[in-house]
Chains A and B, each alone.
Chain A
């Protein structure tokens, strides 16, 4: 809400000593938060002048300039009783009153052209121009900018201060009005709060005597719940040629609206003044009685903005014999709008049900000044008074005749009273507030208060839709007492149990990844088929089944991702594009896996807790959203440098990091050869937990790299972190080792090249209870082994928990290992 300070001061007798900044700060404390103070920034000698003479001087460039003598008042005139000023505009004649910026005047609108926007005497077209005759654009005010401003004759005298005359010294408070304070979208509401904030008396501008009697325009309201009050009043014989007085036009512009015509401006002015939206119909264009009803499906109306809108049964309309003539509370129709020739006007001020207007404005994407107010609640006591105020102004400023007939259909329902203990404000706020202060504060907000010992009943005023519960009253009391009075008391929570296991393990995973040289990124979880195409996912891949959004930010990414790789690869591309060669990044976050199609989350009432079954229905409908951990690595894992050659990041690094995570969480995982996009078919490991895959690690498929424009090789992994965390035992393994001497045995085995090393390692480890560890230390294929075979060399460490091993025991264990490996077709290399 933009509040011109001069207008506010007219309604509340604020002391002059209160500066605009102080006022704004005080209103901010009162829940009318200052966004900014708007001012014209114009200063200096901006005065009214009378054009004494005009000499037209054609120039070589084809233009004609006017060399004028202008009387700018005795204080500013030179010895010859005027000033010489060059002016290029031609919309004025000798004797006209104009606005002159004398040297020293600062016009911010000109700051683009002259330093600081400061006017000075300057030589131009062979004269010294001793100032400038101003256009509306140069002053930053509304009006026809094609020529200079010509003031109404006799409206001022030469030498008068034009800053005051044009309201250019006005400051405007732009206040943020919260949705619960619809009443503050009016000067009336802001003035009431200002008076309350300063303890001043408040004179209500809506205190208007309604004069109309007798029958007015015939109106029927079909649903009094949708439209509880409908008032109408006719004014005839209005002179549509009359201009809007400058003070009114100024206030309308200051409030952020446009001045259009006198009749329209008056309706807007009254809305700004008392907060009630008003619609004006051209009375002569109405056909038959007005009926207010729900729209029928598919009914059409052309609104004031010229758009044809198709209505539904959710909309309420004002109709006459031809059909809808106004979309209730949102925007009027074009066919009956006030035009440049309208002389007879029917003024409508109706009270509409707030949620209905909100829905209509939302459905038609048509937020208007009217709908903004209706949504937040408009005082239902005002319709008749609003029509009276508009009629009075149409008569006063436009020469119209107010018709005696007054239509008022329906009456406002008083707001239900709210009962509260007088101690509640103290209990809720922690500030000691006595009963007298409670009562006084509520009365200041317009409530009628009945106090009975410890309990009070407050009847909220008609304009306060936010006062429904005891706590609502507390807020109003505390606003007056001051939020700064709230004490600071640290509550004592009962002893807690710290972080949950999952929370601790997620932290640990984060630290392991950082320790392994990965930089954590936070990417957006949005993705689409283009992403899945780049990843080479087959058309029937489950990972293409996304949670889709009704209103995604981009058509390219219409839903939520099912894999962290979409975001990670975008970050990788960005990093490489920015010149980083070695990039190792990781992300821990949720992916989104839809439930069956058609899953719907329930909506319950709010007057009670849903039952446990009802609560369980949320989880049944919501998509699965497991935490995953993903990583991608490009470039060197060990950097080439002075100490020697480095090493590219490979599939092995990706697998190793996953194994490190599993070890850190004490979870046994298994690594198995796999072929899954987007991984390289020969360099992809499935990570198994109890035999089920929980993710993959390896190198990306060259086609994927090409699709992303990535150079070289990229190692990547993604696993279901929740699954890993769920499998993590509460207590890790017991340290169990023997202090007897170790025996070391090396085994070189020849196996078929397709036998996974992990399988051989596994059978060796289980071959004898004396085998403490098995480590693969060499892999060879080539001349020394037969075609289609490879040699795997393992180092075995043998140890008994209770004795030193004998040579026979060592030999037996070694033979057991060879036998076990034989089950995979392995033979000892000789």
Chain B
């Protein structure tokens, strides 16, 4: 570097000549233009605007000029460096974009490749339908009651007005626990939960009881020794069969949608009097005149059988400690398994119980 010029003598500093600066600038611009990778650009930056670049060195010579010449030389160098930096920035953006573009292309994959390495779980539709039904009743302010599956004979039968010699006991093919004098059965219905609820809670009572029940039917396409029911029980002042129908209509609508309704036919259950069979408006054809005749679901009836119900027999209230003079109630029960087989058109009940994962997987975790 030349020494600072403190006199005002004109000094010739070659690198600061206009044409010299211009040449350095043009060389730099050419190098930048030629660089097409970020590495080449880095080198160009070091070569042409780095501390040891010709222009940087030239810049240091400005002090050697007489003061009156410095300004002009400074401007000249400054402009050249500005042009170079600008070109460098522009080219850097250009190269970065191009490199990103290349990278994106090389990183491209076939997104249709299947990602199936994680096992897919699912919940059984009996579980999810039971929960769905529970939610419907909980939304009405009801609670969900449960009871044991090996049940006392008295709770499964006697308390429900099925005395030892009642003909209805032979209707229900009961699994008896050994020895018979143990007076225990596999519950034949969820109704003992009603008895347990009345024995342990004070009215008003509004409970639904989903659960597994047992009858001595051999397993075939339409029968199973193990199946699932949900029962409802309401005990309050002034309840009538009308309230039973209102509850069931609401239940039907909650499951099958607006416009659903139920109808009653007289029937017999020892624990209700009067008793009724409950039919559900066919949820496929809705008993519409132009659709019902060909409907496979209801076989042209317009209605499908859904369960049994009735007014709680006052004898049951007495055995369970509820004052029949003050309270009345209603009860109903539907088959969960049959609701599923009918709704999903499942021909063979055994599919629900043999555990083939292909049966349950499509149901996912919620119905």
* Chain A residues packing against B (C-beta within 8 Å): 28-31, 33, 178-181, 354-355, 358-359, 362, 375-376, 427-431, 469-472, 474-475, 478-479, 483-484, 486-500, 503, 507, 510-511, 513-525, 547-553, 559-560, 567-568, 570-572, 574-575, 578, 580, 582-585, 588-590, 592, 599-604, 606-610, 615, 618, 621-623, 625, 637-639, 641-643, 646
Contacts and interface: CB of A to CB of B under 8 A. Distances in A.
B357 A585 contact: yes
Contact of A639 (B117, B127, B225, B245): B117
A583 B158 contact: no
A486 B264 contact: yes
A486 B170 CA distance: 31
Contacts of B123: 510-511, 514, 520
B327 interface: no
Q: How large is the interface on B (under 10, 10 to 19, 20 to 34, 35 or more residues)?
A: 35 or more
A621 B184 CA distance: 9
Contacts of A568: 355
B354 A571 contact: yes
Interface in B216-253: 216, 218-219, 225-226, 234, 236, 238-247, 249-250
Contacts of B277: 33
B183 A29 contact: no
A601 B184 contact: yes
- Shortest 6 CB-CB distances between A and B: which pairs? A430-B242, A609-B321, A571-B355, A517-B119, A355-B165, A178-B268
Given A179-B268, A513-B121, A358 B355 contact: no
Contacts of A589: 212
B131 A507 contact: yes
A221 to B, nearest CB: 21
A495 B154 contact: no
B143 to A, nearest CB: 5
B104 interface: no
Given A179-B268, A601-B153, A489 B245 contact: yes
Interface in B97-137: 113-124, 126-127, 131, 134
Contacts of B152: 601-602, 618, 621-622
Interface of B: 113-124, 126-127, 131, 134, 138, 140-144, 146, 148-155, 158-159, 161, 163-168, 170-171, 175-184, 186, 199-200, 204, 206, 212, 216, 218-219, 225-226, 234, 236, 238-247, 249-250, 261, 263-268, 273-277, 311, 313-315, 318-321, 328, 352-358, 360-361, 365
Given A31-B267, A606-B318, A521 B124 contact: yes
A464 to B, nearest CB: 13
Interface core residue of A511, A522, A567, A602 (most chain B CB under 10 Å): A522
Contacts of A497: 143
Contact of B265 (A28, A513, A615, A643): A28
B150 A592 contact: yes
B321 A608 contact: yes
Contacts of A499: 134, 138, 144
Interface of B is mostly: mixed
7 contacts: A179-B268, A486-B241, A492-B141, A559-B178, A588-B127, A623-B150, A646-B117
Contact of A522 (B144, B166, B352): B352
B204 to A, nearest CB: 6
A549 B116 contact: no
A523 B250 CA distance: 32
Given A510-B127, A518-B121, A498 B138 contact: yes
Contact of B266 (A427, A483, A588): A483
Contacts of B117: 638-639, 641, 643, 646
Given A429-B242, A608-B319, A615-B199, A601 B154 contact: yes
A810 B184 CA distance: 65
B187 to A, nearest CB: 11
A637 B218 CA distance: 36
Contacts of B177: 547-550
Contacts of B273: 469, 471-472, 474-475
Interface core residue of B116, B178, B218 (most chain A CB under 10 Å): B178
Contact of A625 (B150, B314, B320): B150
Interface core residue of A359, A493, A570 (most chain B CB under 10 Å): A493
A551 B178 CA distance: 9
Given A355-B165, A521-B355, A428 B268 contact: no
Contacts of A33: 265, 267, 277
Contacts of A489: 240, 242-243, 245-246
Contacts of B168: 179
Contacts of A28: 265
Nearest to B312: A471
Nearest to A524: B226
B353 to A, nearest CB: 6
Contacts of B142: 493, 496
A430 B134 CA distance: 26
A488 B247 CA distance: 8
A584 B140 contact: no
Contacts of B206: 491, 493-494, 496
B267 to A, nearest CB: 6
B357 A604 contact: no
Contacts of A516: 121
Given A179-B171, A589-B212, A643-B115, 12 more contacts: A28-B265, A486-B242, A486-B264, A490-B250, A519-B357, A522-B126, A549-B175, A550-B180, A553-B218, A580-B357, A580-B358, A637-B119
B121 A514 contact: yes
A548 B178 CA distance: 5
A768 B170 CA distance: 70
Contact of B170 (A358, A428, A431, A622): A358
Nearest to A607: B318
A617 B200 CA distance: 14
A376 B247 contact: no
Contact of B148 (A428, A431, A553, A625): A625
B121 A517 contact: yes
A606 B157 CA distance: 11
Contact of B165 (A358, A500, A621): A358
Contacts of A472: 273
B138 A514 contact: no
